[in-house]
Amino acid sequence: MKIVFGASGTLGQKISVALSAAGHEIVKIGRKSGDVQADFAGPDGLAEIYKALKPFDAVAIAAGAVAFGAFPEITREQWQFSFNNKLLAQITAVQQALPYINDGGSFTLVGGLMSEEPIPMGAAASTVNRALEGFVVAAAIELPRGIRINLISPSLIEESVPQFGDLAPGVIPVSAARVAQA
C-alpha cells in the first residue's frame, strides 16, 4: 500500500493516477478530501494515521506551501509559515512514518524549481526547496532497514501556468503527469 499526501492537488491527482495504473493500492490523504482527512502541516502530526494504515511501503508527498513576496518585505511570520508548512511538515511526515513503514520502503518529497533557479518574489521558495535537498541527502544516510528517500523537484507544471506562469517567464512547463512518473 502507498500513501499519497496532497492527493487532491494538481500533482497529487496525477501521482494517484500513475500509482493506481501501475496496480498499487493507494490511500489518498488531503486536508478536506481523499480517503483520510488530515492537516498535513498541523502540530498534531500524523503518527495516529500511519499507525491505523500500516503496513505500507511508500509515502509520496505533494503538499506544502510557501509565502511569496518581495524579499525585503517577507515578514518573520511568512518565513515561519514557509518553514513549517513545506519544510518541517515534510520532515515530520517522514519521521513519524518511520516506525510503521515496511523494510525497504520509500519516501518521495516535493521540492521545486526555485531551488536552482531563483526568481524575484521567490526567496522563501528558494530557501525551503534547497533546505529540503539538504534534508534528504542527510536523512538518506541515517534511514534504517533499507528505507530510501528522494526529492522530486518539478519544473513549472503546465496545469499551474495560469496561476504561476508569470513568476517564471521563459521556463518550459512540464505536465503534472510527467512529474508524477518521477
Least Å distance, CB 80 to a second copy, is 7
Among 17, 47, 65, 91, binds a second copy (CB under 8 A): 91
3-state SS of 13-48 is HHHHHHHHHCCCCEEEEECCCECEECCCCCCCCCHH
Query: How many residues appear in the chain?
Result: 182
Least Å distance, CB 141 to a second copy, is 6
Among 80, 150, 175, 181, binds a second copy (CB under 8 A): 80
Asked if residue 43 binds a second copy (CB under 8 A), the reply is yes
Q: Tell me: cis bond preceding 55? Omega within 30 of 0 counts.
A: yes
Report the site for a second copy in 123-182 (rule: CB under 8 A).
Answer: 123, 125-135, 137-144
In terms of Cα–Cα distance, which of 123, 8, 136 is closest to 62? 8
Asked if residue 120 binds a second copy (CB under 8 A), the reply is yes
Asked if residue 104 binds a second copy (CB under 8 A), the reply is no
Task: Indicate the residue among 8 and 83 with the shorter CB distance to a second copy.
Answer: 83
Determine contact, residues 180/11, Cβ cutoff 8 Å: yes
Task: Indicate the residue among 18 and 132 with the shorter CB distance to a second copy.
Answer: 132
Q: What is the DSSP letter of 63?
A: -
Task: Indicate the residue among 55 and 120 with the shorter CB distance to a second copy.
Answer: 120
Alpha helices in the chain (DSSP H): 10-21, 47-53, 76-82, 89-97, 123-140, 161-164, 176-181
Positions in the binding site for a second copy (CB under 8 A): 43, 70-72, 74, 76, 79-80, 83, 87-88, 91-92, 95, 98, 114-115, 118-120, 122-123, 125-135, 137-144
